[in-house]
């Protein structure tokens, strides 16, 4: 009996090398070239299955390997993309989102997810130096660079200390402008704490990333510098950043406490 014919597009077996590894190496050589430049969408699993003459599980194993090595990123509900350059998020006395993104020659934008007054929990109260249960204004925002999500942040402001801050933020999503509207002309970063963990399903969906890649979490406290606001805490923030696209860099002399 003759052996079954091998289709021309099937991946031939190499001794001692699993098929999924062969596929991963083939794609690794193609990624970054003219066909798949940074940010390009890769073919679907079904298309790759047909191309290499293997089952979906084999293709999935190959894509998982490329994702672990940082060559590709998976966006839930959108597909698989060639990873772009990682953006350095430089933490300094005056860290501003717009300036950070434009420093990388990208266009900053954002989407407000929530803006409301709530009672401060223990973590927020500690960050703002107030009692738990005190009313604070919470702004949750998704930050984008060239329409790609790079941050998911929650900002908390003491409502009684910053009278009018809710209306100010409702008028403009830019925190610097909103604080100026209530009298805080300038503010600086007092402290930043950084940790890492797995993203929640909601965070992974908003940041369009795979759940098997970690996110960086920052907790920061900002204080005013001008007049009666000098040294007064005006904002406590919690940021969530996708490691496939962002790394945190501390400026000299501005390391964590």
Q: Which range (24-38, 106-120, 187-201) has the least confidence?
A: 24-38
Segment 68-92, tens digit of pLDDT: 877 888 777 778 888 877 899 988 8
**Over 219-251, what HEC string results?**
EEEEEECCHHHECCEEEEEEEEEECCCEEEEEC
pLDDT interval class at 171 (50, 70, 90)? very high
pLDDT of residue 250: 85
Q: What phi, psi does 39 have (nearest 5°)?
A: 90, -10
Please state, for a pLDDT cut of 70, what percent of the chain lies above it: 91
Provide, for the chain, the percentages of residues in helix, strand and coil under a 3-state DSSP scheme, each rounded to the nearest 5.
Answer: 30, 35, 40
pLDDT of residue 120: 97
The mean pLDDT of 240-247, rounded to a whole number, is 91
Segment 90-104, tens digit of pLDDT: 888 888 899 999 998
Domain locations along the chain: 19-82, 87-250
pLDDT interval class at 184 (50, 70, 90)? very high
- 109 DSSP assignment: E
What distance in Å separates the CA atoms of residue 47 and residue 253, rounded to the nearest whole number?
A: 51
Please state, for a pLDDT cut of 90, what percent of the chain lies above it: 64
Q: Give the architecture (CATH level 2) of 19-82.
A: Orthogonal Bundle (1.10)
19-82 shares its CATH topology with 87-250:
no
Segment 4-23, tens digit of pLDDT: 333 434 455 554 578 999 99
pLDDT of residue 257: 43
Could you tell me which CATH number the domain at 87-250 has? Answer: 3.40.1410.10
Cα 30 off chain centre by: 26
pTM reported for the whole predicted model: 0.74
pLDDT of residue 1: 40
pLDDT of residue 230: 95
pLDDT of residue 140: 98
């Amino acid at each position: 009996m003759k052996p079954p014919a091998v289709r021309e597009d099937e991946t031939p077996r190499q001794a001692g090398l699993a098929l999924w590894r062969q596929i991963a190496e083939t794609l690794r050589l193609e990624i970054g070239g003219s066909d798949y430049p940074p940010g390009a969408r890769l073919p679907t699993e079904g298309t790759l299955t047909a191309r290499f003459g293997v089952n979906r599980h084999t293709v999935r194993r190959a894509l998982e390997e490329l994702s672990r090595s940082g060559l590709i990123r998976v966006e839930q509900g959108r597909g698989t993309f060639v990873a772009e350059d990682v953006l350095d998020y430089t933490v300094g006395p005056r860290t501003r989102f717009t300036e950070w993104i434009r420093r990388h020659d990208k266009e900053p934008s954002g989407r407000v997810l929530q803006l409301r007054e709530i009672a401060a929990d223990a973590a927020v109260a500690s960050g703002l130096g107030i009692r738990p249960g005190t009313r604070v204004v919470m702004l949750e925002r998704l930050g984008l660079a060239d329409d790609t999500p790079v941050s998911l942040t929650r900002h908390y402001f003491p409502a009684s200390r910053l009278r009018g801050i809710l209306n100010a933020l409702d008028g403009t999503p830019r925190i610097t402008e909103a604080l100026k509207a209530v009298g805080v002309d300038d503010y600086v970063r007092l402290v930043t704490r950084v940790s890492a963990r797995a993203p929640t399903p909601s965070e992974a969906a908003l940041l369009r990333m795979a759940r098997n890649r970690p996110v960086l979490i920052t907790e920061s406290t900002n204080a005013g510098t001008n007049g009666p606001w000098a040294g007064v805490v005006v904002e406590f923030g919690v940021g969530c950043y996708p490691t496939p696209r962002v790394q945190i860099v501390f400026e000299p002399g501005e390391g964590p406490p």
